[in-house]
Chains A and B, each alone.
Chain A
């Protein structure tokens, strides 16, 4: 019986490995864009006046597999990225992280949980949050 995993003469792994040209090997490329274990997904936090925006790079998931919770000035992102390989699919190179992840970030100010808006587009989760009232800058009237 022909084994399911018998592949003929060529050795894809060796060929691709040998010939994966480091783009611009002579001039420094920025590097392999994959975040080290423990820091997936890569996250940025931006302050925009009275709001804060968090962006997380988490390509290839279903938005419903993401869980977002906020408390005070911290936000927690939980989710899972599953391996897409099908039956009879054999890997020669694996660089993309998979598995479940959980990250908690501290925001620049406490936020109002009712103001949180999240959107997942092109593999980036973008979360916009308004600062809590007491954290907003207020103009003070000066009596004279």
Chain B
């Protein structure tokens, strides 16, 4: 009896999750790199720093941003809806997921992930006689 109930509940919440997931916007993201790190910048206007959730799991980077409430009143012209943001990336192996730095300002989230030492370019000394 108990197991049946458990099974039903799990699938209900899965359905809720499906519905929830379908409501997210994917924020526009710029990805760049330097010799030292990988940099991701997310556009999430209307999201306050305290409403951003960043999860690094194995080699996946997941970001969720909850947007502030929409303006009140009757919309007379509308180009965008207010919605929460969510986006996941699988990271390359060359980054060090222990060293992740995140900063959020004016609706832009900047995440910097250091590269593993071996992944950075190294000058190689050439030995020999001449």
A interface with B by C-beta (< 8 Å): 2, 6-8, 10, 12, 15-16, 19-24, 27-35, 39, 42-49, 52-53, 55, 57-61, 84-86, 88-97, 105-106, 108, 120, 122-124, 126
Contact = CB atoms under 8 A, between A and B. Distances in A.
Interface of B: 18, 21-35, 38-39, 41, 43-48, 68, 71-80, 83, 85-94, 105-108, 119-121, 123
Which of the listed residues A12, A27, A47, A126 has the most CB atoms from chain B within 10 Å of its own CB? A12
Which of the listed residues A6, A10, A105 has the most CB atoms from chain B within 10 Å of its own CB? A10
Q: SS class of chain A's interface: helix, strand, loop or mixed? A: loop
Contacts of B123: 2
Nearest to B104: A122
Contacts, number: 185
Contacts of A7: 33, 35, 121
16 contacts: A10-B119, A24-B18, A24-B22, A28-B22, A30-B23, A31-B26, A33-B43, A47-B73, A47-B74, A47-B76, A57-B45, A60-B105, A85-B32, A92-B33, A95-B29, A124-B46
Contacts of A43: 77, 79-80
B72 A91 contact: no
Given A60-B107, A90-B33, A123-B45, A44 B78 contact: yes
